[in-house]
């Protein structure tokens, strides 16, 4: 099992980051490169929660999203072709005094088969840089999305 800690800072507000994390519409892959639109399936969604299948590159997982706390999004893996056990993601969004938001992410990967154990091991070692770059790209995409919305409102 791999537990990976990631960190990013963004000029987007916690509300804007939360809105991006919980936007399951078309174009999700522009915000989250590891969530291809053709894998995306929303099974159920309600206030502060969703049941969603997403993935890319032959890897998919069904996630139970909980954002009842607007500064914390917990995604628990309920089914996957390679992940099992305690797999999931937790995003903690902390507003800072300088009007930025700190995004802390904990990714837990417990492979349920040989492929999952191998990918989990790779993510826990050499793959952390890939995940860090993906989180930075997501933060930049959220900022760009907000800037575009702000310009449209003017």
* CA distance linking residue 119 with residue 113, whole number of Å: 10
Domain-located, residue 96: yes
Where does the pLDDT of residue 153 fall: very low under 50, low under 70, confident under 90, or very high at 90 and above?
Answer: low
In angstroms, rounded to a whole number, what is the distance separating the alpha carbons of residues 53 and 30? 17
User: In CATH, what number is assigned to the domain containing residue 14?
Assistant: 3.30.530.20
**Domain-embedded: residue 16:** yes
In a domain, 35, yes or no: no
106 in any annotated domain: yes
Number of independent structural domains in the chain: 1
Element (H, E) at 154: none
Structural domain that includes position 7: 2-20+67-153
Residue at 100 is within a domain? yes
pLDDT in tens, 61-107: 999 999 999 999 999 999 999 999 999 999 999 999 999 999 999 99
Residue 47 located in a structural domain:
no
Residue range 10-22, pLDDT digits in tens: 999 999 999 999 9
Interval 108-148: pLDDT, tens: 999 999 999 999 999 888 888 889 999 999 999 999 987 86
Residue 83 belongs to a domain: yes
Per-residue burial over 37-68, b if 16 or more Cβ lie within 10 Å, else e, is eebbeeeeeeeeebebbbbbeebbbbbbbebe
Evaluate the CA torsion angle 133, 138, 143, 144 in order and state its sign.
Answer: positive
Could you tell me what percent of the chain has a pLDDT over 70?
A: 95
Please indicate, yes or no, if residue 88 is contained in any of the structural domains. Answer: yes
């Amino acid at each position: 099992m791999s537990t990976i800690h990631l960190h990013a800072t963004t000029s987007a507000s916690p509300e804007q980051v939360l809105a991006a994390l919980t936007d399951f519409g078309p174009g999700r892959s522009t915000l989250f490169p590891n969530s291809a639109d053709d894998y995306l399936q929303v099974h159920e969604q309600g206030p502060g929660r969703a049941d969603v299948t997403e993935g890319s590159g032959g890897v998919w997982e069904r996630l139970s999203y909980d954002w009842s706390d607007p500064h914390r999004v917990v995604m628990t893996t309920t089914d996957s072709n390679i992940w099992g056990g305690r797999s999931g993601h937790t995003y903690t969004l902390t507003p800072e005094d300088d009007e930025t938001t700190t995004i802390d992410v904990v990714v837990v990967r417990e492979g349920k088969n040989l492929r999952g154990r191998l990918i989990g091991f790779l993510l826990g070692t050499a793959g952390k840089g890939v995940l860090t770059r993906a989180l930075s790209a997501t933060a930049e995409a959220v900022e760009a999305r907000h800037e575009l919305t702000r310009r449209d409102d003017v």
